[in-house]
Amino acid sequence: MRATQEQIITSGVVKEAIRITHPDGSQEELPKKITLKEAIERWDESLLSQAVAGKVNGELVDLSHPLQQDSTVEIISIGSPVALEICRHSASHVLAQAVTELFPEVKVGIGPSIEEGFYYDFQRDVPFTPEDLEKIEARMREIIEKDEPFLRMECSKEKALKLFSERNEWMKVEIIEEKVDKLAVCYKNGSFVDFCRGPHLPSTGKIKAFKLLSVAGAYWKGDEGNPMLQRIYGNAFFTPEELDTYLQQMEEAKRRDHRKLGRQLELFSIEEKGGPGLVYWHPKGALICHLIEEFLIAEHLKRGYQLVKTPHIAPADLWKASGHFRFYRHYMYPLSVEDEEYVLKPMNCVGHILIYKSRLRSYRELPVKYTEMGTVYRYEKSGVLHGMLRVRGFTQDDAHIFCTPEQLPGEIVELLDFTKFLLSTFGFEEYKVELSVRDPKDKGSYAGGDEEWEKAERALVEALERRSLSYKRQEGEAVFYGPKIDIKLIDSLGRGWQVTTIQFDFNLPGLLEVNYIGKDSKEHSVFLVHRAILGSLERFVGILIEHYNGCFPLWLAPSQVVIIPVSDRYKEYARKVSSQLEVHQLRTDINLRNEKVGYKVREAELQKTPYMLIVGEKEQQKGTIAVRSRKEGDLGSFSLESFIDRIKKEIDRKALTP
């Protein structure tokens, strides 16, 4: 018998065939139900050592996955970000196996991979100690050494509930009740069974390097009304060298922690009596914030934005009309004012819309671009608060663009250019771009119809392509009212930080009747763009502190120059130097304390002051200054005029390479 397109001969037996399409477009026929691993062995057996998982028709699967129908197939290999995510998620299962074997009384929660590694949540009455983590790591090494397979199992919802109920795993039972319709997927490695959609590594031995990092408290599902769990954090890699590099970066990140440097440099504080998640700017930090705001406002005005200010509270009815109450209520702070419900504003868009609607608008006026350094308040659970990086009250460089459909693509391109300019000004040249769209399986959680979403997404994609920006498509990450472009800057330690967001909104203009009079003398709905480039200024300053290790570029340094007289006899000359610098609007301090020069220099360096000017008898006689740079050390003798010229040029350059 001769095999047709639907049949293939294997070991003398005719089997039904399926067609496989590879990423390069080439095709071949394979026996139906062949596993991905078996297929790789046919293609190139040496690839198996690098293969982690696969993507079949766009869905991530294990190497044990049987190919049942004509499919597009892609192999996920070591070296790809997806492979590392799978490695880390698999390591979290190894962690859970080790914990449950060592501490049988423990109940398990969830254990995902995250950007900085993985974690697993456990319920245990006794806190885990550093000694416990050492024991857990040792057991994990034993499990990895055994090279135990990750086995995928499918069963009915009822069977899964019975399995975890018998194990008294109440959190797993709760998740299955919520997440599973009919079919449950579980994974088994050694003695441990977990409810999990996968995929996983073929076996535990594929994890070549890992480290448990810390233990922290975390409420079940992030809800303060639920039991407190213990969250063990770790990270995993495919090579020991990658782990060593990561641990070195971790140590450097600890030294740069913005909370530590914020105290040391007297920039800000989070006061216990002042409320969690609320930032108290100290004079130096407030000055940095002011300098950033001043620069941002000037650059916005150059680009045709109009400066506005809106109240901190607004009636709840306004937020109900806008739809925010439906989708955003759990982030809002309600207030009662004369028996009427108000809300501390969680965003500025509704206020900007009211200003726009204060009179009739013509197409000739568009685009209208409003910007505001607007302070907003959002309820974040205490467990996620983190210094200035995650707070409850913050100020945004917020703006809204009201334009016609024809103007939209050009406005998005201009925003991308503006973003690049601002990020580079602050010293960030590398960033990643994500296109966040709705979850196609959960359209009910988003406002608007299919046509509107497709139109909005297309406009953002076209702008990204016009600027040749590569991007990652993120399904399910859109806001409820439209798709968005998110930009993550990369700092000096190689870490990504979400800052810029450009969001298209086809929802609010319709709900709140935000219109303009077109050329046809009829009303038309505006196209509305929400955008913040630096985002939360609190968060951005926290990022800057860590990016520069507290050594701000000269234009942002709270104190740019400290003048150090070598003795009291030269105080007046120090004051004279200071007054001449201040004429040029340079920020100076004079250290007049009765201490040794070396101590004063060291103190200035600890405070990250960019320049130290030493003045003594020689400098006073010649009318010069001895200049020491924080970055370059002793620079020698300068005339005051030449130093001022140097420092002003450096200020004009804005950011320097950290």
* Nearby residues of 32 by Cβ (< 8 Å), 6 or more positions away: 15, 16, 17, 18, 67, 68, 69
Which member of 93, 400, 488, 600 is catalytic? 400
What are the CA-CA distances from residue 275 to residues 197, 271, 272, 519 (Å)? 40, 6, 6, 53
CA distance 564 to 601: 8
349 among known catalytic residues: yes
Taking phi over 0 as left and psi of -120 to 50 as alpha, with beta for the rest, 431 belongs to beta
Q: Which two tokens stand for residue 30?
A: 């394979």
187 close to 194: Cβ distance less than 8 angstroms: yes
Nearest alpha carbon to residue 613 among 652, 594, 586? 586
* Nearby residues of 51 by Cβ (< 8 Å), 6 or more positions away: 37, 40, 63, 75, 76, 77
53 close to 63: Cβ distance less than 8 angstroms: yes
What are the CA-CA distances from residue 514 to residues 69, 261, 455 (Å)? 50, 46, 19
Q: What's the count of helices (H) and strands (E) in the chain, helices before strands? A: 19, 34
162 among known catalytic residues: no
Which member of 284, 378, 539, 628 is catalytic? 378
459-493 residues labelled b (16+ CB within 10 A) or e (exposed):
bbbebbeeeebebeeeeebbbbbbbbbbbbbbbbe
Q: Which two tokens stand for residue 508?
A: 């609010």
| CA angle (85, 89, 94) in 5-degree steps | 145
Helix (H, G, I), strand (E, B) or coil at 3: coil
CA atoms within 13 A on the CB side of 380: 20
Helices 408-425 and 283-302 sit at what angle, rounded to 10 degrees?
140
Which member of 230, 396, 407, 560 is catalytic? 396
What are the CA-CA distances from residue 397 to residues 377, 435, 543, 571, 615 (Å)? 14, 21, 15, 43, 42
**Which segments within 27-146 are labelled E, that is strand?**
27-31, 51-56, 59-61, 71-77, 107-108, 113-114, 117-123
Query: Which amino acid is it at 474?
Result: Q
Which member of 484, 531, 539, 547 is catalytic? 484
236 close to 209: Cβ distance less than 8 angstroms: yes
Which member of 349, 531, 539, 547 is catalytic? 349
292 close to 541: Cβ distance less than 8 angstroms: yes
DSSP label at 638? E
484 among known catalytic residues: yes
DSSP label at 239? S
Which member of 530, 531, 539, 628 is catalytic? 530
Helix (H, G, I), strand (E, B) or coil at 75: strand
CA distance 573 to 562: 14
400 among known catalytic residues: yes
Which member of 62, 194, 397, 398 is catalytic? 398
Q: What are phi and psi of 348, to 5 degrees?
A: -105, -5
**Which segments within 255-328 are labelled E, that is strand?**
268-269, 280-281, 306-307, 313-315
Helix (H, G, I), strand (E, B) or coil at 529: strand
User: Cis (ω within 30 of 0) for the bond into 199?
Assistant: yes
Q: Which residues are catalytic?
A: 349, 378, 396, 398, 400, 484, 530
